[in-house]
């Protein structure tokens, strides 16, 4: 083979995948593209903090209603060390997390089977769908007095109220996930002699898992928004209770600090849910 022939064959236009009829491999995203969302988010947070500091420094709003970021930071440090209303910040957060995860456990325990029944059976949909549509638009404060009458003012009533707020997202997302199960996979499993339980466990549940995890993420948001209402009832610890107690005495720095802590915990839980989703269903997370 001559030098000219080797040079011709080694030309990029002849050795590229497109020249051989093969699709070109996907290009890796540039680092700038990956960093752009992080930079935009960081700039947004910094801009918000600057506006907050500027409003407090120029006394555009009374410190009673809008304390400075430094005052909130000092209050947050005091909450960690000294605490507020006979409990530290860690104790308030632990009480709230106990209620949130307890409610989430019961919401998943009831919501996933109910969603599967709704998605797989017309009779099941006719049975459970009216209950879901009845609970979904109701605010927690609407049925909170009834829950107190039935279950008292202890921890069960708080967990039940939060669980009722979490239940519709789990049921609806699970039922929607069932609808996405490929029919050919179900037919193929049945043609190989799989039983109904095997089809459910090996075909339907794996394909429904992305919808279930999405419902859990939405339910966590609904649970945090219901937490303050639930902790209004005879609570002595909890982030919602701390915020409500501080608002009664116009301790605005504690109110803002509590809101920031709730937002931070919700952000961390969202990140944890994304990690779990990436581990359990990597194909779905890669698609998104």
- Quick check: is 211 in a domain? yes
Percent of the chain with pLDDT over 70: 86
Task: Report the C-alpha gap between 89 and 78 in whole angstroms.
Answer: 9
CA geometry: angle 91, 97, 99, nearest 5 deg: 110
In this structure, the number of other CB atoms found within 10 A of the CB of residue 211 comes to 24
- Asked if 72 and 260 touch (Cβ cutoff 8 Å), the reply is yes
pLDDT in tens, 120-141: 888 888 888 888 888 888 888 7
On the question of pLDDT at 16 being above 60, the answer is no
Q: pTM for this structure?
A: 0.77
- Quick check: is 213 in a domain? yes
- State whether residue 66 is helix, strand or coil: coil
- Quick check: is 106 in a domain? yes
- Quick check: is 13 in a domain? no
On the question of pLDDT at 286 being above 70, the answer is no
In this structure, the number of other CB atoms found within 10 A of the CB of residue 153 comes to 13
pLDDT of residue 4: 47
- Asked if 217 and 174 touch (Cβ cutoff 8 Å), the reply is no
- Quick check: is 161 in a domain? yes
Q: How many domains does the chain fold into? A: 1
200-213 mean pLDDT: 86
pLDDT in tens, 260-280: 999 899 889 888 888 888 887
- Quick check: is 33 in a domain? no
49-59 mean pLDDT: 85
72-85 mean pLDDT: 89
User: What b/e readout covers 26-49, taking b as 16+ CB neighbours within 10 angstroms?
Assistant: eeeeeeeeeeeeeeeeeeeeeeee
CATH number for position 126? 1.10.3720.10
Which range of residues forms the domain containing residue 151? Answer: 71-287
């Amino acid at each position: 083979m001559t030098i000219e022939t080797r040079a011709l064959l080694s030309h990029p236009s002849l050795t590229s995948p497109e020249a051989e009829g093969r699709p070109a491999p996907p290009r890796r995203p540039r680092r700038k593209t990956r960093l752009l969302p992080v930079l935009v988010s960081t700039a947004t947070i910094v801009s918000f903090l600057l506006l907050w500091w500027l409003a407090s420094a120029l006394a555009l709003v009374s410190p009673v209603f809008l304390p400075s970021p430094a005052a909130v930071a000092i209050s947050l440090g005091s909450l960690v060390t000294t605490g507020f209303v006979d409990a530290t910040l860690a104790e308030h957060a632990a009480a709230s997390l106990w209620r949130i995860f307890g409610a989430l456990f019961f919401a998943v325990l009831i919501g996933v089977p109910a969603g599967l029944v709704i998605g797989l059976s017309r009779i099941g949909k006719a049975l459970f769908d009216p209950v879901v549509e009845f609970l979904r638009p109701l605010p927690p404060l609407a049925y909170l007095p009834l829950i107190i009458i039935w279950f008292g003012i202890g921890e069960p009533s708080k967990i039940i109220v939060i669980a009722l707020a979490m239940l519709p997202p789990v049921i609806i997302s699970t039922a929607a996930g069932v609808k996405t199960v490929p029919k050919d996979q179900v037919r193929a499993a049945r043609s190989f002699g799989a039983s109904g339980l095997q089809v459910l466990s090996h075909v339907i549940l794996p394909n429904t898992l992305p919808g279930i995890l999405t419902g859990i993420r939405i339910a966590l948001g609904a649970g945090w928004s219901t937490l303050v209402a639930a902790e209004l009832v005879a609570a002595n610890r909890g982030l919602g209770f701390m915020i409500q107690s501080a608002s009664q005495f116009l301790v605005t720095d504690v109110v803002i600090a509590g809101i920031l802590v709730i937002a931070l915990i919700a952000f961390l839980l969202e990140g944890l849910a994304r990690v779990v989703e990436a581990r359990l269903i990597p194909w779905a997370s890669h698609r998104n």
